[in-house]
Structure 1
Amino acid sequence: MKVADADILIVPGWQNSGPDHWQSRWMEKMSTARRVEQDDWENPDLDRWVDRLVETVEGATRPVVLVAHSLGVPTVVQASGRLARRVRAAFLVSCPDVEDETRVPAMLRHFGPLPLDPLPFHSWQVASRTDPYCEFERAERWSRHWGTKLLDAGDAGHLNTESGQGPWPEGVLAFAHFMKEL
């Protein structure tokens, strides 16, 4: 599938993705991409975030491909049952372990526990071995349960601007291969 044939919905995490973040850069480059806008990026609420994601997906006019990062990934996973009819695929990057009180702030833990049912659409998960918000072994477990292909990003931190992944060229290549599978 070509990017031009899909509505690419960017699903940022907590505090949104700034202008230098790879999600924002991708959105600028892809003519069919737009951000799922949340009302409150600083105080995330699972039900509101899921409802906004579902609302945005339902407004799409082409097959939907989700590109989620960080807290956007649990949002997609928690909403997956409501998205099955409209979402063609999801590219999931740096899922935080919202069940681990040593890794994420308390205000984010209500996004868990993460369902372990297979996702009802094609999906890949990208995880780093040095993500401070998730042990790689947890990402491996989720991929097995969700039926996602797991890409090992190596030593890449949380795959965000702070970890030096502004443009994230490896991600662009991976996403291109992901789209070819559709």
Structure 2
Amino acid sequence: MNARKPHVLVLPGYQNSGAGHWQTRWEALDRSFTRVQMPDWDHPVRDAWCRALDTAVAAADAPVLLAAHSLGCLTTAFWAAQYASAAQLAKVAGALLVAVPDPAGPHFPQDASGFAPLPLARLPFASIVVSSADDPYGGVPFSQSCAHAWGSRWLDVGARGHINADSGLGDWDEARGWLASLGNPV
């Protein structure tokens, strides 16, 4: 009854995740973590990003976990709602959605296109939305409303900014535990 270890697809946000970012650190710690390469990190287009995610899920062995940050969260929501087939969705064991940005917010990147209006349908896999009390790209009320609409568990990590490299999280073992819990539901 040994279940296979999930393969983790890492979905960074706008302009990718640099060396000190928890996503990059996770990839360095565990070879089962693979970054989904987007066609253009500086000028994200929803359709292209969702198709890149779809290709990555198709190539991965099931089960798959998604570790998304910022615009990667929106990509996950759009992909699940509008792009993925039932067979693709069945491969996804869960998604960790960190620092969901508000596409109608004042700090949302102007170079990003097609990410509004955000789909607010229940996600067809387990998910956790992680929010920071002082995230300039998406506040607590916005992330709570996304978590509610998506059927996600919601977690507040306090004042951690945009929950990126500047947040000083290092390897962020606590969040790796949350991600792992999605692949091994109790």
Normalised TM-score (structure 2): 0.89
Structure 1 residues 138, 114: CA separation in 2 closer, same or farther (over 3 Å shift)?
same
User: In the alignment, which residue of structure 1 is the partner of 2:155?
Assistant: 151
Indicate which of 151, 162, 166 corresponds to 2:166.
162
C-alpha root-mean-square deviation of aligned residues, in Å? 1.9
Does 2:94 align with 1:92? Answer: no
Indicate which of 116, 131, 152 corresponds to 1:127.
131
Quick one: percent identity of the two aligned structures? 37
Counterpart-to-counterpart distance in 2, 1:155 and 1:27: 25
**One-letter code of the match for 1:147?**
G
**One-letter code of the match for 2:93?**
R
User: In the alignment, which residue of structure 2 is the partner of 1:52?
Assistant: 52
**One-letter code of the match for 1:39?**
P
Displacement of 1:27 in angstroms is: 1.0
Displacement of 1:147 in angstroms is: 0.2
- SS of match in other structure, 1:85: helix
**One-letter code of the match for 2:155?**
L
- SS of match in other structure, 1:105: coil
Does 2:111 align with 1:107? Answer: yes
Indicate which of 114, 120, 127 corresponds to 1:116.
120
Does 2:153 align with 1:136? Answer: no
Gaps of 5+ in 2: none
Q: How many residues align?
A: 180
Counterpart-to-counterpart distance in 1, 2:172 and 2:3: 18
C-alpha contact (below 8 Å) 2:65/2:179 kept by paired residues: no
Counterpart-to-counterpart distance in 2, 1:90 and 1:173: 12
C-alpha contact (below 8 Å) 1:9/1:64 kept by paired residues: yes
Displacement of 1:109 in angstroms is: 5.4
User: In the alignment, which residue of structure 2 is the partner of 1:8?
Assistant: 8
- SS of match in other structure, 1:106: coil
Would you identify which runs of 4 or more consecutive aligned residues in structure 1 move more than 4 Å?
A: none
Structure 1 residues 23, 4: CA separation in 2 closer, same or farther (over 3 Å shift)?
farther
Gaps of 5+ in 1: none
C-alpha contact (below 8 Å) 1:3/1:32 kept by paired residues: no
C-alpha contact (below 8 Å) 1:74/1:112 kept by paired residues: no
Counterpart-to-counterpart distance in 1, 2:165 and 2:89: 31
Moved more, 165-174 or 62-71: 165-174
C-alpha contact (below 8 Å) 1:11/1:36 kept by paired residues: yes
**One-letter code of the match for 1:19?**
A
Displacement of 1:84 in angstroms is: 1.8
User: In the alignment, which residue of structure 2 is the partner of 1:78?
Assistant: 78
Counterpart-to-counterpart distance in 2, 1:3 and 1:27: 22
C-alpha contact (below 8 Å) 1:3/1:30 kept by paired residues: no
Counterpart-to-counterpart distance in 1, 2:97 and 2:38: 18
Counterpart-to-counterpart distance in 2, 1:28 and 1:180: 22
Normalised TM-score (structure 1): 0.91
Counterpart-to-counterpart distance in 2, 1:161 and 1:172: 15
Counterpart-to-counterpart distance in 2, 1:107 and 1:157: 21
